[in-house]
């Protein structure tokens, strides 16, 4: 845990403030075929992004490599599915989740959520017809992301992505 730098609530304040910047939100190019993004200057050295989500697109299950963060919906609606348990971070390939660990929330109209360094979730635009736009911030800047697949109660670690692969 990195106690220096912006807190999760600082990041939430930033993403909510930025999501209310109509001119910035309107500047994001939207592509019906895939996600679009603009890198933003996050507060205190954080990593921040403006992301456009066509209908039906999403992230898949992932974590944030130990970074904390926040995101807010600037347009449309995003659905977040998350786990209400802290997973062991290392040393497993598949994990059977207990019952009652799944959480779902929907974010629209500038609403956001902050998350801690062990948060595992997937985010998607469930709308059949409307784009969504959101603002995200992470601190420390993402060192890696673990990607998971999910089959019923079984979570499987699929890959570990590092920033040099994201260019
Ligand atoms: Fe995420």
pLDDT value at 1 more than 70? no
Per the structure block, which two tokens stand in for 37? Answer: 């993004």
pLDDT at site 167: 53
pLDDT tens per residue across span 2-43 = 678 999 999 999 999 999 999 999 999 999 999 999 999 999
Distance 121 CA to ligand 1 centre (A): 6
28 is a domain residue: yes
Domain region containing 60: 8-166
Mean pLDDT over 67-73 rounds to 98
151 is a domain residue: yes
Distance 99 CA to ligand 1 centre (A): 22
2 is a domain residue: no
pLDDT at site 81: 98
3 is a domain residue: no
Non-local CB neighbours of 2 within 8 Å, separated by 6+ positions = 139, 140
The answer for 47, left when phi > 0, alpha when psi is -120 to 50, beta otherwise, is beta
pLDDT at site 90: 81
Banded pLDDT at 48 (limits 50, 70, 90): very high
pLDDT value at 163 more than 90? no
Distance 45 CA to ligand 1 centre (A): 18
pLDDT at site 38: 96
Domains identified in the chain, total number: 1
Mean pLDDT over 132-157 rounds to 97
60 is a domain residue: yes
Average pLDDT, the chain: 95
Using DSSP, how many helices (H) and how many strands (E) does the chain show? Answer: 2, 12
pLDDT at site 155: 97
pLDDT at site 142: 95
Query: Residue 65: which CATH number?
Result: 2.60.120.10
Distance 69 CA to ligand 1 centre (A): 8
Distance 70 CA to ligand 1 centre (A): 9
Distance 140 CA to ligand 1 centre (A): 14
pLDDT at site 166: 66
Non-local CB neighbours of 98 within 8 Å, separated by 6+ positions = 85, 153
Distance 105 CA to ligand 1 centre (A): 14
């Amino acid at each position: 845990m990195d106690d220096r730098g912006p807190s999760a609530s600082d990041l939430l304040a930033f993403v909510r403030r930025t999501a209310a910047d109509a001119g910035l939100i309107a500047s994001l190019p939207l592509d019906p075929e895939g996600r679009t993004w603009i890198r933003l200057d996050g507060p205190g050295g954080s990593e921040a992004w403006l992301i456009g989500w066509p209908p039906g697109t999403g992230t898949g299950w992932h974590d944030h490599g130990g970074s904390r963060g926040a995101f807010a919906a600037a347009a449309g609606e995003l659905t977040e599915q998350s786990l209400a348990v802290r997973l062991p971070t290392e040393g497993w390939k598949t994990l059977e989740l207990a019952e009652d660990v799944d959480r779902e929330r929907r974010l629209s109209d500038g609403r956001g959520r902050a998350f801690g360094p062990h948060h595992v979730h997937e985010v998607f635009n469930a709308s059949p017809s409307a784009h969504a736009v959101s603002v995200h911030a992470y601190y420390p800047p993402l060192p890696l992301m673990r990607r998971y697949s999910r089959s019923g109660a079984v979570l499987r670690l699929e890959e570990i992505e590092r920033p040099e692969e994201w260019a």
